[in-house]
Chain A
């Protein structure tokens, strides 16, 4: 692998950038691998990378039905945080956060992780109290959290309407200073390049259509590019988790819903932190290129269509403009959707399954981008060791039947509520 640096950039400039190698190869699939990862999103690629890097398992293929990073990894609002209250989530996401902090260097790929702070706004005393509960739990779990009053929020986010007469007045906020954003595409590409450098085969335009089993054990996959054998198959297919599970006869407590996101036209820096508001159903940050990147509620119906209703866009933007009345004259440039794997308690599922050799990574709802490094890390561990890592031991399938669900919001067994 050619190392990237300012020097390699300068050197290549002299040859008009004609000598850069491929960031990853596009090999034809081999007949058999030790491990097949289905899904070339951030999670699948990170899993392959850590299988090779942490566990020395390099005879690995990542099978992606389209172009890599084209799933939710390529369409999310890139918020990275670990501000969780419940212990299983807190420890897992904090592990992920720590990986983010060194990811560019580890991958030798600038993923532009930008810990610019994530501010969650409270619009009532009740929300302030809920934030105190969460923030205190974070702090006692060793995660950074700061409680802000209205004045502090207003100083940090000057364009925010903090007047008491607002329809949903800002009471204060909970901030995670280490939270921020990262460049979504770079995460996929950086992991792909890293995994490739260990010899992992990344195979695009290769849809898994079936999973072969013998005597209850996984033996390989059927794909649009032929059959490929493997002793272990791990899936990281986000919105398509149910389909892959059904290929081995497993039920999944997951529904696929569409979540939209949108960007404004690019403008000069105007917003330096990530701001989210539950009461007005929106979140917003500004990308390095200058667009305001925004998102909010689900569309609230099952969908695999990667696009949603304009009504939701209107609703989310109305909420955001109520917070930021100065953004009203800016213009929306593009909107799109992604297919969310909404687990029925809002927390992920990363586990081995009753089917030998079949491993699940899914149920990310709208928070899986920030999980990417941690998810790859523990999923690789689970696959390599055939046993969970301490950070994912609670993210089982059984928790739904035995009542140990991890319901951060207390929203209940409704996909659309999380």
Chain B
């Protein structure tokens, strides 16, 4: 069982969380500046690395924050987590 470091709540059992996938994909702009290819890649293409992976987790049974975790997909080692924005209070 993984232990996910929520940047707010601290380390918690991964059963409290929902995995939300690769953190490096970002939603293209809604306007014409984004190509069909951009949209296809956003929804379907994943780098799927074997090794360090930045990924999003949602603290579902917790503070309900989506945040980024750095985890190695080959070893499951977790090297850190980060808030998506700095606005929130510090975990202190």
Contact = CB atoms under 8 A, between A and B. Distances in A.
Q: Do chains A and B touch in the complex (CB under 8 A)?
A: yes
Interface of A: 240, 242-243, 246, 251-256, 300-305, 309-311, 344, 400-401, 413-416
B19 A416 contact: yes
Contact of B44 (A301, A304, A413): A413
Contacts of B76: 303, 305
A137 to B, nearest CB: 26
Contacts of B90: none
B73 interface: yes
B48 A256 contact: yes
B30 interface: no
A302 B55 contact: yes
A401 B14 contact: no
Contacts of B75: 305
B50 A301 contact: no
A252, A301, A400, A415 pick with most chain B CB within 10 angstroms: A301
A253 B22 CA distance: 13
Interface string B29-72: 00000001100110111111010010100000000000000010
Nearest to A256: B48
A242 B48 contact: yes
Contacts of B9: none
Nearest to B19: A301
Contacts of A301: 2, 14, 19, 55, 71
Nearest to A242: B48
B73 A302 contact: yes
Contacts, number: 69
Nearest to B18: A300
Contact of A309 (B1, B37, B53): B1
A251 B41 contact: yes
B3 to A, nearest CB: 10
Contacts of B45: 251-253
A379 to B, nearest CB: 21
Contacts of B71: 301
A416 B75 CA distance: 19
Given A253-B45, A302-B22, 10 more contacts: A242-B46, A300-B18, A301-B14, A302-B21, A304-B74, A305-B75, A305-B76, A401-B36, A401-B40, A413-B43
Nearest to B36: A401
24 contacts: A240-B50, A242-B47, A246-B47, A251-B41, A251-B45, A253-B45, A253-B46, A254-B48, A255-B22, A255-B46, A301-B71, A302-B21, A302-B53, A302-B55, A302-B73, A303-B73, A304-B50, A305-B76, A309-B2, A344-B43, A413-B43, A413-B44, A415-B21, A416-B19
A234 B41 CA distance: 24
B15 interface: yes
Closest 10 pairs (CB-CB, A-B)? A242-B48, A253-B44, A251-B45, A309-B1, A400-B44, A304-B50, A401-B40, A301-B19, A311-B1, A304-B74
A197 to B, nearest CB: 34
A302 B2 contact: no
A309 B14 CA distance: 9
Contacts of B21: 255, 302, 414-416
Contacts of A415: 21, 46
Contacts of A413: 43-44
Contacts of B74: 304-305
Given A300-B19, A304-B74, A305-B73, A311 B14 contact: yes
Contacts of B22: 255, 302
A235 to B, nearest CB: 14
A313 to B, nearest CB: 10
Contacts of B55: 301-302
Contacts of A344: 43-44, 46
A352 B46 CA distance: 20
A242 to B, nearest CB: 4
Nearest to A341: B48
Contacts of B41: 251
B14 A243 contact: no
B49 to A, nearest CB: 8
A401 B44 contact: yes
A254 B46 contact: yes
A383 B42 CA distance: 30
A255 to B, nearest CB: 5
